[in-house]
Structure 1
Amino acid sequence: MGFTLDTEYSLWFALICLAVAFLYAFLFYRNDDKFKDISSWKIRLMFLLRFSAVFLISFFLLSPLIKTNNKFIEKPLIILAQDNSESILHSKDSSFYKTEYRIGFEKLKNELAQKYDVVSIGFGATISDSIDFSFTDKRTNYSALFSEIESRYSNRNIGALVIASDGLYNEGVNPQYSTNNINYPLYILALGDTSSQRDIMIKEVMYNNIAFLGNKFPLQIVVHARELKNTETNVHVYDSNHELFSKKINFKSDDAFEKISLELEAEKIGLQHYYIKVDADKQETNLVNNKREIVIDVIDNRQKVLVLFNSPHPDIGAIKNALSVNLNLETEIYSLSKFDKNISDYNLIILHQIPSLTNAATTILSDILAKKIPVLFVLGGQSSFAALNNLKTGFSIGQVKTNFDESQAYVDDKFTYFDIDSDLKEFIEKASPLLAPYGDYKFSNTSSVLCKQKVKGVQTEKPLILFDSYMNNKIGFILGEGIWRWEIFSYKEYNTHELFNRLINKMAQYLALKINKNNFQLTVKKIFSENEAVIFEAEIYNESFELNNSEEIGIDIFSSDSIKYSYNFNKTTNAYRLNIGNFPAGDYSYVARTKISEKPVTAKGKFSIVPLNIEAENTVANHKILNDLAKNNMGDIFSVNEFDKLKNRILSDENIVSIEYNEKQLQDFINLKLFFFLVLALLSIEWFLRKCFGSY
């Protein structure tokens, strides 16, 4: 290490500093009568101390810098990356990888460490800083490995990368497309078995995570068989107690795929487990991939819709047809005169021309409004506008005489209650006109107009479809009859009823949707895979329904065998979040607790962790992709027992050498503590000597 001295000004100014220091010290001690009786060498010593201190202080004014030049030697870095996924142990040599292989790998590491810097990385579903040879990761991701190496060691002197793996990956991109930034040799230790064994596996199960109570839901199973030509097996599906399905399948080749489609009935509410099993062949060694567990959340979330009509009309059939395509809605249609059910059983009521000129329906209308059941009024020639006005819902029509206009619709761009895309907007504005009552329309300023009337090509401000809220209850109005023409127009113009159905269902779903007014709201998925982090999110609202996160939230999670896990939520800007990481497969329940206005509140629920066996789906090692990786990146491939060959190859590589480099640093002279204490010492010693010699 060498250093030089430099300043922001010319070093010639240092001569001025010397002159100033000399002159100051000389004048200070020239004619001091206090030192007449002491020897001259003592005066010269004090002079020298004062001169040195003043010179250093004045020299600091030149902003001196110290330039240091440090020489470093960086040894080559050898990176050892071990595949820690489950597929390694699915070969016939599984015990070998737990014992002999581990010893050989550790020996290789230690021998390389005598000459190089060596780091170990475990990879699979995640990246770890150490290798434990547990082989428990549920997935294999090469691209994450290469990204991590690039992030950590891009500025290091990497001599070589050694990857020990079976070449199987099931997450991320093809590893051959992830090595563009590699400029060092890549060596491979090829693990696993490349021979094709007799194996039957459940390759894929396709299903929906949610099913509705009482409905049938589809299930599709793909079975893959290797080296089992002209054999047969049975596929079974069970719930927790019974066999629900069984089918015999035949394999016609040594690489056969069979697809089984079936339907099961959702009979119970909640998280339901289903188990799929394929009978194993007698000579089959890998039985892990012969079974699969899935979890389906069976819910009873269908909204019940009641359509009441005054008299038969084509509008009623059109509305019924549109609602029937929505599996989340259960629609019932009754004539007002024949309806005798409990009005409280419904989530939405559509009233076609009710109240009417012949039936004011006062009792049922009062019941609907009192129980805050969302309602959609469809008006027409049979409607009693006087009776409707008497309901005082915030909307009224004043008529001098009963007249109707043929009114086309045009969409109000300010409408935001639900999305109206460009296709739906085009359909509404091109659809046939409705027969809308002529009169003086009055509606509250809280109303939201979906579309307005266009009469004889002139856009008016009169609403045609609007929504409002009456006593915290949703209300909608279709202010005209003839909506059945829109259904016909949809099919005639677009060859499908989809646009008409979409519009009616958006209106129905908006009205029927219940707003969650709970002050403590907790959100979490109900189904997780085994390698997926479980994340909770929560919000607390005060009495004014404003977000507030001043309180703490605690949660207790219970496994099916009553093991308890307790956590506290982390606060975000105005809400809460909790990531509890990965949990073992199984069913869990939870209870979250907090306080709102000093009152304790809770939120309860359940979730399920589904086992993940993706590493067992393919057990034949892919050494071809490993060989391509090595050859394309200046390396080579070695078998699992060739530790010494791999070591000698690295040691003999003349390109793996240490790097020498210089590092220059600049440091302000005044920041050096040594010189501060030096000046302090000079002045202190001078003061002490003057004290002793009688000056002070």
Structure 2
Amino acid sequence: MLSTLTPLWLVLLGLAALAWAIWSYRQTPGLTRNQQRLLTTLRATTLLLLIALLTDPVWPLQKRQQTPPALAILFDNSASIPLAARDSTIAQTLQRQFPWTALKEAQTHLYYFGSTLKPANPEHLADSLDFQQPRTNITQALQEVFQRHPRLNAIILLTDGQYNEGPSPLHWATQQSIPIFTIAIGDTTRPRDVRIDRVETNTLTYIHTPLPITAYLQSNGFAGTTLTITLQANGRFVAQHQHTLTLPQEQASVSFEYTPETPGWHRIEVHVEALEGEFTSRNNSYSMLIRVLDRKRQILLLAAAPEPDLANLQRILGGNADLNITTRIQRDGQRFYGGPLPDTLERFDLLLFAGYPGRNADLRHITRLRQAIEQRPFLLLLSPQTDLSRLEAWADLLPAQPTQTVPGLTEITFKLRGEAQNHPIFTLPDVLLARQNQLPPLQTLRATWQPKPDTRLLAIGQTPEGQEQPLFLVQERSGRRAALWLGSGTWRWSNLPENLSPLHTLWEELLLNTIEWLTAPVEDRLVRVWPERETFGAGEPVRLLGEVYDERLLPVSDAELHVTVWDADSTRYPFRMEAVGNGRYRLETLTLPEGLYFYQAIATRTDRELGRDQGHFSIGLSTVEFQTPWADHNLLRQLARRTGGQMLTLQTLPTLAEQLHAAGLLQPTETIQLADWRPRTQWPFLAVLILLLTAEWVLRKRFGVV
């Protein structure tokens, strides 16, 4: 390539072009000396420029540029700051104390943070800092500012060091190579105060079931004072206890008991009365939500015919106060003992088939029941009365399918599989499981059963010939559970002789455990929407997150996900969630009034519903920021030391610029940019070349040169 010519060759080519230009016009007659010089200059310049373009030489260039130091300044805007600083005008104090003038040569990125990071204007800092953020996440603030500005010289963090969300900032900071200068707001002195540190209880319970609740208190400076602690549920008084403090600094616990009477979401709140001279009463209460379920389950029992197993089954179910049984026994093709088949099957939590469908089962009833078990759990207990040909209508919904049938019955003995002991159905006493081989044999139809791929085989039956076949199978599919018991004669298990008396409850416990498992909520939804947290602070935006999948469990990114939120007064707020990619969705609402809220989300695509979900959240005055109204100097000191920074206080804050100068962090950064300069890539050279050729041609015509 011509661009690889050495500088010597370029000089020789240039001299040759110059010599040829001089020679060409030196021999031209009719030109004055000045005309010869002018034309020679034009041609020589043209040739030199043409050589430069053809050989394409490369000249390296260096450009020096100074970049001012970059600093990120993070102000903690959480509600704990005025308490830790003991100063209600802390925003004005920070505006006044910060060395803005000394840092004017630096490129500063100003933010304030709580649970989120937001940019701030230094001229209006005092107005931006309202200290209303209900949570503090220091780690997230550091991570976000580093992602936005990866070439920072240092981070200046002004905070009390108390965080109540996210991991410790020490772990993240030690993995980075950026100095963090911490400014401690407030001191470590613990004020004279009483607070509820936490409340512990179950988040799920049942109606009419006593729920233990324990509140943990912490006090400082109130020895000898008697506290009154009150428990409320949904705003109503439940119980009250008194506790006398005996130490200057004391940790105590108070126990309550609450028995909910109605199902639904219950807000429980523990409150300790405010004391005279207490630093703040905003940490004197603690609230949480518990979910109360109705333990009573509606069960439809359908039997093919009266038989001993059915009588035993009715005895067991009827003796359980948590079960409401509706029984229908086939009488003939159209009629049942106990009344007609209920008009509404959706109200039942479980469909229990005892030998049903039998030979007299009506096909219309079978079809209707099929539609019901597509959506709700069922338990099928096989018996000699079961008609396997009619059962074919449900074949795709059963945990197993009969592939070969032979008339007659065969005996089998119960044998539990090893993996069944890890299943919640078999949380049975060890004495029962250890003596299972002493149970009387069962009978089963002569059939070969093929379990489905999503079925778990928990127990097998062993024939007298030693062959094994499925006995007890369970299935969980698309949010619906099903169970299949292929043996009959369980009434014998409930009527054992005295020497086997420990085993007489095995069938009852196994049956009731199966019903509990079948009717328990199943988390297998194609549409999932949940709040970012269960309780949002007053004035805090509510964030909902969602995911949408299709039947193949592949993410759906083009769905329309509509959410309706309503409060206790049924005031409704419609929203639409924003797709963020890969089947994920997000919604950030404006602030809502305090209270308990419920929501329902419906996902659609091309007018077809993909699924729905529902849930709840609450909005109230968050007390978490008032739990620790003092500064954590130890954390701030470690954070500065581990990153190569320093810890300062509000009193030494004006010397921040000096500390940064001493650490060499306010020196501008000089960068050298290397670039290659090539004439061929510069369009003005081509323009000049055309201009020179044109000028020479015009002058030759004017001077009469052919």
Q: Is the structural similarity TM-score above 0.5?
A: yes
Secondary structure at the counterpart of residue 174 of structure 2: coil
Residue 621 (structure 2) pairs with residue 615 (structure 1)? no
Equivalent position to 2:379, from 353, 372, 376:
376
Q: Give the number of aligned pairs.
A: 651
Q: Which residue of 2 aligns with 1:203?
A: 197
The 1:96–1:539 alpha-carbon spacing in structure 2 relative to 1, beyond 3 Å, is: closer
Equivalent position to 1:261, from 255, 259, 281:
255
Query: CA separation in 2, counterparts of 1:510 and 1:13?
Result: 92
Query: CA separation in 1, counterparts of 2:107 and 2:94?
Result: 22
Query: CA separation in 2, counterparts of 1:592 and 1:484?
Result: 47
Once the two structures are superposed, the pairs formed by residues 70-109 of structure 1 within 5 Å of their partners are 70-77=63-70, 79-91=72-84, 93-105=86-98, 108-109=99-100
In the alignment, residue 111 of structure 1 is paired with which amino acid? A
Secondary structure at the counterpart of residue 75 of structure 2: strand
The 1:664–1:458 alpha-carbon spacing in structure 2 relative to 1, beyond 3 Å, is: farther
CA offset at residue 51 of structure 1? 0.6
In the alignment, residue 82 of structure 2 is paired with which amino acid? L
Residues 182, 640 of structure 2: 8 Å contact kept: yes
Query: CA separation in 2, counterparts of 1:457 and 1:20?
Result: 111
Q: Which residue of 1 aligns with 2:529?
A: 523
Residue 343 (structure 2) pairs with residue 347 (structure 1)? no
CA offset at residue 221 of structure 1? 1.8
CA offset at residue 25 of structure 1? 6.9
CA offset at residue 55 of structure 1? 0.8
The 1:49–1:594 alpha-carbon spacing in structure 2 relative to 1, beyond 3 Å, is: same
Q: Output one character per residue of 1:23-61: Cα deviation in whole Å (capped at 9) or x when no partner.
A: 99799989999999994335324422431332122121x
Equivalent position to 1:680, from 687, 697, 703:
687
Equivalent position to 2:131, from 129, 135, 145:
135
TM-score (norm 2): 0.72
Say which is worse superposed, 96-105 or 436-445, in terms of deviation: 436-445
CA offset at residue 311 of structure 1? 4.8
Q: Which residue of 1 aligns with 2:650?
A: 640
Residue 672 (structure 2) pairs with residue 663 (structure 1)? yes
CA offset at residue 85 of structure 1? 1.9
The 1:547–1:616 alpha-carbon spacing in structure 2 relative to 1, beyond 3 Å, is: closer
Residue 585 (structure 2) pairs with residue 577 (structure 1)? yes
Equivalent position to 2:298, from 298, 304, 309:
304
Secondary structure at the counterpart of residue 686 of structure 2: helix
In the alignment, residue 52 of structure 2 is paired with which amino acid? L
Residue 158 (structure 2) pairs with residue 168 (structure 1)? no
Once the two structures are superposed, the pairs formed by residues 261-410 of structure 1 within 5 Å of their partners are 261-298=255-292, 303-306=297-300, 310-311=306-307, 330=323, 332=325, 340=338, 344=345, 345-352=347-354, 369=369, 372-373=372-373, 375-379=378-382, 383-385=384-386, 387-393=387-393, 394=395, 398-406=405-413, 408=415
Query: CA separation in 1, counterparts of 2:445 and 2:689?
Result: 105
Query: CA separation in 2, counterparts of 1:545 and 1:72?
Result: 54
Stretches of structure 1 that go unaligned for 5 or more consecutive residues are 1-5, 414-418
Residues 152, 178 of structure 2: 8 Å contact kept: no
The 1:198–1:457 alpha-carbon spacing in structure 2 relative to 1, beyond 3 Å, is: farther
Q: Output one character per residue of 1:381-437: Cα deviation in whole Å (capped at 9) or x when no partner.
A: xx235x454554446674444432447576999xxxxx979x99xx99997496353
The 1:429–1:314 alpha-carbon spacing in structure 2 relative to 1, beyond 3 Å, is: farther
The 1:57–1:197 alpha-carbon spacing in structure 2 relative to 1, beyond 3 Å, is: closer
Q: Which residue of 1 aligns with 2:398?
A: none
Secondary structure at the counterpart of residue 372 of structure 1: helix
Residues 309, 490 of structure 2: 8 Å contact kept: no
The 1:446–1:271 alpha-carbon spacing in structure 2 relative to 1, beyond 3 Å, is: closer
Q: Output one character per residue of 1:90-118: Cα deviation in whole Å (capped at 9) or x when no partner.
A: 2473323133343222xx2223335x554
Residues 20, 55 of structure 1: 8 Å contact kept: no
Secondary structure at the counterpart of residue 682 of structure 1: helix
Once the two structures are superposed, the pairs formed by residues 596-611 of structure 1 within 5 Å of their partners are 607-611=616-620
In the alignment, residue 143 of structure 1 is paired with which amino acid? T
Query: CA separation in 1, counterparts of 2:408 and 2:663?
Result: 103
Residues 186, 634 of structure 1: 8 Å contact kept: yes
Equivalent position to 1:126, from 116, 123, 132:
116
Secondary structure at the counterpart of residue 99 of structure 1: helix
Secondary structure at the counterpart of residue 369 of structure 2: helix
Query: CA separation in 1, counterparts of 2:182 and 2:516?
Result: 61
CA offset at residue 618 of structure 1? 1.3
In the alignment, residue 683 of structure 1 is paired with which amino acid? I
Q: Which residue of 2 aligns with 1:416?
A: none
Q: How much is the aligned-residue C-alpha RMSD, in angstroms?
A: 5.7
Residues 176, 629 of structure 1: 8 Å contact kept: yes
Query: CA separation in 2, counterparts of 1:590 and 1:528?
Result: 14
Query: CA separation in 2, counterparts of 1:678 and 1:180?
Result: 55
Q: Output one character per residue of 1:331-375: Cα deviation in whole Å (capped at 9) or x when no partner.
A: 65979699747754533233445678xx96879975973773554
CA offset at residue 254 of structure 1? 2.0
Secondary structure at the counterpart of residue 138 of structure 1: coil
Stretches of structure 2 that go unaligned for 5 or more consecutive residues are 331-335, 396-400
Residues 78, 117 of structure 1: 8 Å contact kept: yes
Residues 626, 637 of structure 1: 8 Å contact kept: yes
Residue 527 (structure 2) pairs with residue 534 (structure 1)? no
Residues 235, 247 of structure 1: 8 Å contact kept: yes
Equivalent position to 1:479, from 479, 486, 504:
486
CA offset at residue 279 of structure 1? 0.5
The 1:228–1:315 alpha-carbon spacing in structure 2 relative to 1, beyond 3 Å, is: farther
Secondary structure at the counterpart of residue 284 of structure 1: coil
Once the two structures are superposed, the pairs formed by residues 13-24 of structure 1 within 5 Å of their partners are 13-15=9-11, 17-18=13-14
Q: Output one character per residue of 1:297-356: Cα deviation in whole Å (capped at 9) or x when no partner.
A: 4455875345677555599689969x98xx9x8465979699747754533233445678
The 1:568–1:68 alpha-carbon spacing in structure 2 relative to 1, beyond 3 Å, is: farther
The 1:282–1:238 alpha-carbon spacing in structure 2 relative to 1, beyond 3 Å, is: same
Q: Output one character per residue of 1:239-298: Cα deviation in whole Å (capped at 9) or x when no partner.
A: 445312222222222222232333333344544433332101111130110123333444
The 1:405–1:295 alpha-carbon spacing in structure 2 relative to 1, beyond 3 Å, is: closer
Q: Which residue of 2 aligns with 1:190?
A: 184
CA offset at residue 187 of structure 1? 4.9
Query: CA separation in 2, counterparts of 1:656 and 1:619?
Result: 33
Equivalent position to 1:243, from 234, 237, 244:
237
The 1:654–1:248 alpha-carbon spacing in structure 2 relative to 1, beyond 3 Å, is: closer
In the alignment, residue 640 of structure 1 is paired with which amino acid? L
In the alignment, residue 250 of structure 2 is paired with which amino acid? A
Secondary structure at the counterpart of residue 293 of structure 1: strand
Secondary structure at the counterpart of residue 52 of structure 1: helix
In the alignment, residue 287 of structure 2 is paired with which amino acid? E
The 1:261–1:164 alpha-carbon spacing in structure 2 relative to 1, beyond 3 Å, is: same
Residues 307, 334 of structure 1: 8 Å contact kept: yes
Secondary structure at the counterpart of residue 102 of structure 1: helix
CA offset at residue 624 of structure 1? 4.1
CA offset at residue 614 of structure 1? 0.9
Residue 226 (structure 2) pairs with residue 232 (structure 1)? yes
Query: CA separation in 2, counterparts of 1:174 and 1:445?
Result: 48
The 1:9–1:500 alpha-carbon spacing in structure 2 relative to 1, beyond 3 Å, is: farther
